[in-house]
Structure 1
């Protein structure tokens, strides 16, 4: 506006001069022409020339006055417009400043203004005071260095140096700040240069993104652990877009199928060809009707790698439908369970061998799964005790221990189970057969414990000692008889035998002397009779006790 007025001033002055000069020239030439036209007398013309000069001065003065007045009025109007414009501008500026201060103070984001030269805070809003923990007075006594961790100050100073050198204070990026309580937070800063109280200031707005970064870090850690878990579990993920036919495999899927991600073309035919022929037939006959709403179908299938290796996978498949209930995508996971299937096969074969052994052995086998409380009874319970093992309940053994032995045996068994160092169990008791007979049993078992020492399984065998005990009793009785016979031979038989020997020797001596004593023959007869009775008694005892 002032520039416009200056131009106007110059233009008006030049215009006045031009008008004044034009009027003067016209007046001079026109007046001279009229005087020469009407007057020939030189003296008279001279007098009119004087009058003409006076009239010229009056006319030009009047014209100059009029022109100056018109110009002054125009300038006055322009000055009045300038004053009004400045008043309006100042009022608008004052109102804008008040609105700006109100927006600044009531902004939900922490905001502040600092001096670019001294780095001292010039103004700070309520949100910054509340978030950082400093009061307004504390902020105003600080510089921006004091809300930075020491390690971040060099970076801040480098940015300020660049802002001063390039006259560009704008910045948008991440920084670390320090609260009053010492917590370090990650903030997103946006800065711009402003004039504040006739100083060059930097307006800063800060958004604390620490919670978002923490969540991102947690998600990253979870994803990392999930990836590691997938690798450890050999679990792959796949999707099949039913509209476009696009199939996507994770890296683990390629590892399971032993395919090269760079060369293996993911088509339905190529995928199906990797399955065992029997499983491939199932895939060809599968329909979407098998999928219930929000259901997951689980199956175990065999695949064949390019090297001819057969592997087992556990697959869980989920069908995704659109709003119209039309199938749009299949997604699923596959887990390599080859080791588990081989282990199950080994366990099955081991159990089969155990069952065959249980049938072949003369002992009654008991296999007690202590965790699931299930008991397997071997064929010996049928052959030895007359019980149908397959039809028996789990309490068959407990119910048929003789009542006089039951409490002792069960107490000893429970005590052995609780003792984590105990590996074996041994007991002798009486057991009631299906026909009511009593069998004398020797029961030996082994405890299988886990890492905590808890019993998980008990395998034991019952041996019927009844026949053996009877034989032992017979042998003991025979031994006793033999001992009696031996004692009889060494003591009872020896007496009449010694008498016989003595009498015979005596008869020999008498014969040499020519002397005969008939009483000796009677004595010999009596001793022989006694010896015969003793021998009969020995034979009788031997016969009665089965020695002979």
Structure 2
């Protein structure tokens, strides 16, 4: 090779990013080392001539024994490729050192050639990736929700976390020997297979699934999924949200509300509630029916209770009552209901939540029968008073007269003409007494008749009549 070609080759080798070198084992000196080699190990060409094994002093103490051991293989005619750390100017760098033995024509080892590459950035990236993989693996295994990865083609479980093992009762080995169809009720498998077809690399969430545990218990679950590539396979990662208890609680609330609504709707009282903006929160059937009958309106939750059908004065009156109750008062008053002749007693109570008044619940009770009973009782009391007056005043006069004239009767001489006057007087008084007693009897009979008409046995009637 002529000098110009050699210079060109040297220039090319000096500008490579890798360190290129060759070492004469016989002379124990470098045959060639490019500029990158000098830079990598922090040694000038003169230093390499003076200290051919200086590179060994840069090897990280924790890697030195490994590097020394593996380098010895060169002397047995083997090529070696090592990755180790070096410390140059206080900085730790990773290098990949590929070395090969060189033999002369007689087969005798006489030199070693090598290429050394700085792989620090690669190693840092690998460490970051390793840390990231560890973090994601940790999060996967220890997520409080059941997680698994399955193969979208074979449907086999590829990985499961601790929560899935705990929730479903299968061991990890059992899971990894199963398909996802094996934890579904048979009737849900067609829907499952159909959903897998639409799996994409985006988040999805579906409700209404059931899963079966190892002991046969059925769970109500919500599924969150995301298509991924795992171990070179098209897969999906699944997160399971167990909502069994929530669904059971919801059913219990629905049943309780249904029973409460049924009870309220079978009460003959008017019952309704409003929020702080006078919007209807709830109302029973009797209230709805009465509003329909009185105003020809079909009310719904959210409608204003301050009906446009009311005149301004009525609206003002009711608003004042609601405002007082929203301020904490309990209000009881009587009012008539449009469309009915009866009078209702209205009771309004505040609705509290976290010690704050958020609305008003009202109840209207038909008190017309009670009012009528009070009027009847008042009338009876008046009639009883008249009877007492008859007994205490009208009877007392004739009786006193009788008591006064009886002693005047001449019992020793019955033929005494004066006796006839006394007897006539007695007869007159007796007639008066008889008239008074008839009046008392008549009034008592009328009073008894009124009681018989009002005090009748209640008939069994439906609450809807």
TM-score range (shorter-chain normalised) is 0.5 to 0.7
Q: 1:392 aligns with which of 282, 299, 303?
A: 299
1 CA distance for matches of 2:143 and 2:279?
A: 34
Aligned-pair CA distance for 1:456: 6.4
1:297–1:318 CA contact under 8 A, matched in 2? no
Q: Could you report, residue by residue, the CA deviation over 1:477-534 in whole angstroms, capped at 9, with x for unpaired residues?
A: 2123212322331223322232234334433668669452544345445534544554
Give the corresponding residue for 1:278. 187
1:314–1:334 CA contact under 8 A, matched in 2? yes
Aligned-pair CA distance for 1:455: 4.9
2 CA distance for matches of 1:525 and 1:225?
A: 121
1:192 is aligned to 2:89: yes
1:402–1:286 Cα change, 3 Å: same
1:352 is aligned to 2:258: yes
Mapping 1:59-458, distance limit 5 Å: 192=89, 231=144, 235-242=145-152, 247-265=158-176, 267=178, 270-286=179-195, 288-289=197-198, 294=202, 296-319=204-227, 328-366=234-272, 375-381=281-287, 387=293, 391-394=298-301, 399=307, 411=320, 413-419=322-328, 427-433=332-338, 436-443=339-346, 449-450=352-353, 452-455=354-357
3-state secondary structure, aligned to 1:375:
strand
Higher relative contact order (CA 8 A, sep 6+): 2
1 CA distance for matches of 2:141 and 2:403?
A: 104
Query: Unaligned regions of 5+ residues in structure 1, if any?
Result: 1-99, 101-166, 173-189, 194-218, 322-326
Aligned-pair CA distance for 1:343: 0.5
Aligned-pair CA distance for 1:359: 4.2
Aligned-pair CA distance for 1:262: 4.0
1:318–1:330 CA contact under 8 A, matched in 2? yes
Give the corresponding residue for 2:389. 487
3-state secondary structure, aligned to 2:89:
strand
1:238–1:332 CA contact under 8 A, matched in 2? yes
Q: Could you report, residue by residue, the CA deviation over 1:448-501 in whole angstroms, capped at 9, with x for unpaired residues?
A: 644x22356876643211122212221222123212322331223322232234
Tell me which moved more, 390-399 or 253-262. Answer: 390-399
1:513–1:227 Cα change, 3 Å: farther
2 CA distance for matches of 1:512 and 1:403?
A: 88
Query: How many pairs does the alignment contain?
Result: 322
3-state secondary structure, aligned to 1:442:
strand
3-state secondary structure, aligned to 2:342:
strand
Aligned-pair CA distance for 1:369: 7.8
1:224–1:316 Cα change, 3 Å: closer
- The TM-score normalised by the length of structure 2 is 0.53
2:345–2:366 CA contact under 8 A, matched in 1? yes
Please, what is the CA RMSD of the aligned residues? 5.0
2 CA distance for matches of 1:346 and 1:470?
A: 44
2:288–2:299 CA contact under 8 A, matched in 1? no
1 CA distance for matches of 2:136 and 2:415?
A: 129
Larger radius of gyration: 1
Give the corresponding residue for 2:409. 507
2 CA distance for matches of 1:372 and 1:224?
A: 55
Aligned-pair CA distance for 1:302: 1.8
Q: 1:469 aligns with which of 358, 364, 371?
A: 371
1:170–1:192 CA contact under 8 A, matched in 2? no
1 CA distance for matches of 2:297 and 2:228?
A: 47
Which of the pair is proportionally richer in strand? 2
3-state secondary structure, aligned to 2:183:
coil
3-state secondary structure, aligned to 2:174:
coil
1 CA distance for matches of 2:427 and 2:223?
A: 105
Aligned-pair CA distance for 1:374: 5.3
1:382–1:473 Cα change, 3 Å: farther
3-state secondary structure, aligned to 1:298:
strand
1:275–1:304 CA contact under 8 A, matched in 2? yes
1:479–1:247 Cα change, 3 Å: farther
1:283–1:392 Cα change, 3 Å: same
1:286–1:228 Cα change, 3 Å: closer
3-state secondary structure, aligned to 1:264:
helix
1:482–1:169 Cα change, 3 Å: same
Query: Unaligned regions of 5+ residues in structure 2, if any?
Result: 1-41, 43-56, 63-86, 91-131, 453-465
Give the corresponding residue for 2:8. none
Aligned-pair CA distance for 1:377: 2.8
Q: Could you report, residue by residue, the CA deviation over 1:162-187 in whole angstroms, capped at 9, with x for unpaired residues?
A: xxxxx999899xxxxxxxxxxxxxxx
1 CA distance for matches of 2:315 and 2:236?
A: 61
Aligned-pair CA distance for 1:342: 0.8
Q: Could you report, residue by residue, the CA deviation over 1:231-265 in whole angstroms, capped at 9, with x for unpaired residues?
A: 3xxx3334445478663333223333233224322
